[in-house]
Copies of this chain bind each other. A is one copy, B any other.
């Protein structure tokens, strides 16, 4: 037996591997991609790390990107409609978005320097059983391929059978950063959201535009338009739709300089939000635990996926160090410890993509526009999703929250 086997070299796998190496636990990460392949290829996402995740990076000794230069400090909200609302909300401590094609290889290097084993090898669900005989515990940290099917979907936590947004995310030049530097969250009622994210990538400080488009709405076309067939037409379409639906972003775009950074810096697609069981018992009586996307898939609309994966890995890693007995008691403990945050992220995200939006969410936005303290609390809770869900879980809770703020 040789320590912990981790399937997947995403943020969950790497944060877990780094944490375990800090405690001298032997670890092997199995990845279908080499370091070079992680650094290349198509834009994988546009994730932000909120400060609670940054603090974990700091504790792991992998905080390579200074927050003053690479971070951002607030959300700029825009809610369109006949009476548009526009208001900021501040974090108590900054967030940060780094292109994962830079981030993951750098952390992989840290991990290997610290004695972590790394094997490039595609792993399928059928490989988990033999690996479980080789390792004290196998952690599944990738939802790719057949893995997801290993962990039963929890229907009560998975309200949608189909994607609620069609996604189009790309990295762009030609957008002046907001002041103070922040993420703009722009809502075009009935059509979807645009998240404009200051991101660091291969071409330096660029801007991610993540269009979250309601199926059947005016913006869905963005998820289907083909950049490679006609780059100029694609960029023109993005510009037009931004002007029409997301004016507070458009007003900072210089149309003459506006362009996708590189052809591969574009990702189109969609996800079905899904919550799965935390662990399964294998035919040999051993257990395997899910972490990250294979455990919960959330729509990227509030940028919580990576934070959920990192948090989940963190709780799992500490449990491994404290109680290295990988039986059902262990699995239940891990599930119990991470449940409130991980499920809150999923529940909150699913509420945000409900169509039409629930009245209490709109009421909350109205209050945020008038009361900066409410907007700041909502914004800072991107670090504490379980507190956000304490506010949003029911209309009664939202009402009590607003009453606490004197409304």
Q: Which residues of B contact A400 (CB under 8 A)?
A: 324-325
Q: Which residues of B contact A325 (CB under 8 A)?
A: 390, 393-394, 396-397, 400
- Contact present for B327 and A333 (CB under 8 Å): no
Q: Which residues of B contact A389 (CB under 8 A)?
A: 329
A317-338 CB mask vs B (1 if < 8 Å, else 0) is: 0000001110101000100100
Asked whether any CB of chain B lies closer than 8 Å to the CB of A340, the reply is yes
Q: Which residues of B contact A339 (CB under 8 A)?
A: 336
How many Å from the CB of A392 to the closest CB on chain B?
A: 10
- With beta carbons under 8 angstroms apart, the residue of B323, B336, B390 that contacts A390 is B323
Best-surrounded residue of A329, A336, A340 (most CB of chain B within 10 A): A329
A388-407 CB mask vs B (1 if < 8 Å, else 0) is: 01100110110010000000
- Contact present for B390 and A329 (CB under 8 Å): yes
A401 CA / B101 CA spacing, docked (Å): 42
A394 CA / B340 CA spacing, docked (Å): 27
Q: Which residues of B contact A327 (CB under 8 A)?
A: 393-394, 396-397
Report the count of interface residues on A (CB-CB < 8 A). Answer: 16
When C-beta atoms are compared, the residue in chain B nearest to A401 turns out to be: B325
A329 CA / B394 CA spacing, docked (Å): 9
Best-surrounded residue of A324, A325, A336, A389 (most CB of chain B within 10 A): A325
- Contact present for A393 and B329 (CB under 8 Å): yes
A329 CA / B344 CA spacing, docked (Å): 11
Q: Which residues of B contact A390 (CB under 8 A)?
A: 323, 325, 329
How many Å from the CB of A38 to the closest CB on chain B?
A: 36
How many Å from the CB of A403 to the closest CB on chain B?
A: 11
How many Å from the CB of A337 to the closest CB on chain B?
A: 9
How many Å from the CB of A397 to the closest CB on chain B?
A: 5
How many Å from the CB of A322 to the closest CB on chain B?
A: 8
A27 CA / B311 CA spacing, docked (Å): 36
Give the contacts of A357-407 with B (CB-CB under 8 A). 389-390, 393-394, 396-397, 400
A393 CA / B323 CA spacing, docked (Å): 12
How many Å from the CB of A269 to the closest CB on chain B?
A: 32
A403 CA / B10 CA spacing, docked (Å): 34
Q: Which residues of B contact A397 (CB under 8 A)?
A: 325, 327, 329
A229 CA / B333 CA spacing, docked (Å): 52
How many Å from the CB of A381 to the closest CB on chain B?
A: 13
Q: Which residues of B contact A394 (CB under 8 A)?
A: 325, 327, 329
A299-328 CB mask vs B (1 if < 8 Å, else 0) is: 000000000000000000000000111010
- With beta carbons under 8 angstroms apart, the residue of B329, B340, B393 that contacts A336 is B340
Q: Which residues of B contact A333 (CB under 8 A)?
A: 340
- Jot down 7 A-B pairs with beta carbons below 8 A, ordered by A: A325-B394, A325-B397, A327-B394, A329-B389, A329-B393, A333-B340, A336-B336
Identify 12 new A-B residue pairs, CB closer than 8 A, beyond the known A323-B390, A327-B397, A336-B336: A325-B390, A325-B393, A325-B394, A325-B396, A325-B397, A327-B393, A327-B394, A329-B393, A329-B394, A333-B340, A336-B339, A336-B340
Considering the complex of A and B, which 6 residue pairs feature the smallest CB-CB distances, nearest first?
Answer: A325-B397, A323-B390, A329-B393, A336-B336, A325-B400, A327-B394
